[in-house]
Amino acid sequence: MVKSATGGSGEGLRYPALDALRGLAALAVVFHHIPANAGLSGAGWDVNFGRMVDLFFVISGFVIASAYGERLSTGFPLRRFLWLRWGRVWPLHATMLLVFLVALLALGALRPDLRNDGPLAGRQVLADLPAAFLLLNGFIPSIGMPWNNPSWSVSIEMALYGIAALAWRFLGRRAAPAALVASLIALAAAASPLAIDEAMYNMARGVAGFGLGMTLHAAFHRIPVRALPVMVATALEIATLFALGALLFGSGAIVPFDLVATGLVALAAAGHGFVSRVLLARPFQFLGALSYALYMVHVFVIGRVFDLLALVQPWLGVTVAASRMGAADALVGPDWQADLAKVVIMALCVGAAWPAAVLIERPARQWSRRTAPAVAASTESPN
């Protein structure tokens, strides 16, 4: 098994191949969110790439179980755990909301014709901002266009951290069977032909993936995947990747996707195959280290690229995108141009993720680690 200690933060073991998988999943989501009427997107190749968020949930359930499950069941302070998780995700999330707010206020001041809600340009409304700041946007329906839409999954994941922590604290080792039952119920709900609203569907996605990840970790030390020969492990990794690809390019159905994703996480965590070893290469690890920042900044970067194209295309006499300031955008053909533009925009997103990770995400995480002992101790102090 490929793993390494993280030091004194209380976060247990790392699985570097899973970091790389998270980075690749984030890149797939970025590709999916760049609108295009030509090239690979025009052909519909990436229509199900948003399903890669479900892989995030499976990885998170496994990693959090590895880092905290046993600790929480034996007395690790709940408040310290939640503070560490909040410090991991909220500062960059809040920063991006402020960036969106400043940008939309500035654009509204420069272009009053683009205003929709008071001084804001665009379709976001100020009434949605408090819920977004508090990471409740995965549960409270938006009035207007969501603020930094990908944060819905972060909102749900924070709720799952709390639910899982309570399960480990009060159920101990029975938390894993409970997680399995919850994930199966959630999968049934998500795949049901009966209509459920978007918030309920997304919550079911989170419970299903996170629960499968928790269940996998509980069984991980008892399943033979950890002792597979290299060639067998490699063959299984390749087969699992092909199955995942077939689902992404096919139906995108949540039940088989989550099950295959769980198998992929198991194989990558074991780290015995050549695919897992390739994921340890520096470019994949770099991408994995930027995965959260990439996920949080990419919608803003994509929107600003299209705004810039709307300004410069008339001057240059070229058409790369059907783009108007504050309106719906899409890259246009020929196919090679749309695909090349997507690659360039993805590179810009990765480039923007690096300073976001270095200047905001990592310092905030270090600060939460430094302050976590005091936060936990404050719950034990007399009133």
pLDDT score recorded for residue 7: 38
Q: CB of 166 within 8 A of CB of 181?
A: no
Tokens of 341: 């533009």
User: What are the tens digits of pLDDT across the range 205-238?
Assistant: 999 999 999 999 999 988 877 778 899 999 999 9
Say yes or no to pLDDT of 8 above 60: no
pLDDT score recorded for residue 327: 56
Tell me the average pLDDT across 118-133: 91
Say yes or no to pLDDT of 326 above 90: no
Phi, psi of 334 (to 5 degrees): -65, 170
Name which of 92, 195, 211, 98 is nearest 156 in CA terms.
211
Outline where 271-327 has alpha helix (H): 274-278, 282-289, 291-316
Tokens of 224: 């033979």
Say yes or no to pLDDT of 320 above 60: yes
Tell me the average pLDDT across 335-361: 96
pLDDT score recorded for residue 197: 85
Instruction: Return the bridge partners of 115, or none.
Output: 121
Which percentage of the chain shows pLDDT scores above 90?
73
Torsion, Cα 286 291 296 299, to 10 degrees, reads 80
Say yes or no to pLDDT of 148 above 60: yes
Q: CB of 197 within 8 A of CB of 44?
A: no
Q: What is the rounded distance in angstroms from the CA atom of residue 337 to the CA atom of residue 222?
A: 50
pTM over 0.85? The answer is: yes
Say yes or no to pLDDT of 9 above 50: no
DSSP tally for the chain: helices H, then strands E: 16, 6
Q: What is the rounded distance in angstroms from the CA atom of residue 220 to the CA atom of residue 267?
A: 10
Outline where 13-150 has alpha helix (H): 16-33, 39-42, 52-64, 70-73, 78-110, 129-133
Q: What is the rounded distance in angstroms from the CA atom of residue 119 to the CA atom of residue 109?
A: 7
pLDDT score recorded for residue 283: 96
pLDDT score recorded for residue 193: 81
Could you give the maximum distance between any two Cα atoms of the chain, in Å?
A: 71
Say yes or no to pLDDT of 362 above 80: yes
Torsion, Cα 331 242 177 83, to 10 degrees, reads -40
Q: What is residue 14's three-state secondary structure?
A: strand
Q: What is the rounded distance in angstroms from the CA atom of residue 356 to the CA atom of residue 205?
A: 27
pLDDT score recorded for residue 262: 97
User: What are the tens digits of pLDDT across the range 39-83?
Assistant: 988 888 899 999 999 999 999 999 999 999 999 999 999 999 999
Q: Does residue 334 have a cis bond before it (omega within 30 degrees)?
A: yes
Average model confidence (pLDDT) for the chain? 91
Phi, psi of 45 (to 5 degrees): -65, -30
Residue with tokens 């892989």: 55
pLDDT score recorded for residue 79: 94
Say yes or no to pLDDT of 108 above 50: yes
Say yes or no to pLDDT of 242 above 50: yes
Q: How many CB atoms are located within 10 Å of the residue 241 CB?
A: 14
Segment (H or E) for 369: helix 362-378
Say yes or no to pLDDT of 95 above 90: yes
Q: What is the rounded distance in angstroms from the CA atom of residue 305 to the CA atom of residue 267?
A: 38
Say yes or no to pLDDT of 110 above 60: yes
Q: CB of 41 within 8 A of CB of 329?
A: no
Q: What is the rounded distance in angstroms from the CA atom of residue 280 to the CA atom of residue 183?
A: 30
| Local confidence band at 380 (pLDDT 50, 70, 90 cut-offs) | low
- Which range has the worst mean pLDDT, 174-178, 194-198, 239-243, 248-252? 194-198
Name which of 172, 147, 164 is nearest 73 in CA terms.
172
Residue with tokens 């310290």: 80
What are the CA-CA distances from residue 270 to residues 206, 223, 278 (Å)? 24, 10, 13
User: What are the tens digits of pLDDT across the range 257-314?
Assistant: 999 999 999 999 999 999 999 999 999 999 999 999 999 999 999 999 998 898 899 8
Q: What is the rounded distance in angstroms from the CA atom of residue 349 to the CA atom of residue 357?
A: 12
Q: CB of 241 within 8 A of CB of 52?
A: no
pLDDT score recorded for residue 71: 95
Say yes or no to pLDDT of 10 above 50: no
pLDDT score recorded for residue 225: 75
Say yes or no to pLDDT of 383 above 50: no
Residues 6+ apart with CB under 8 A from 324: 310
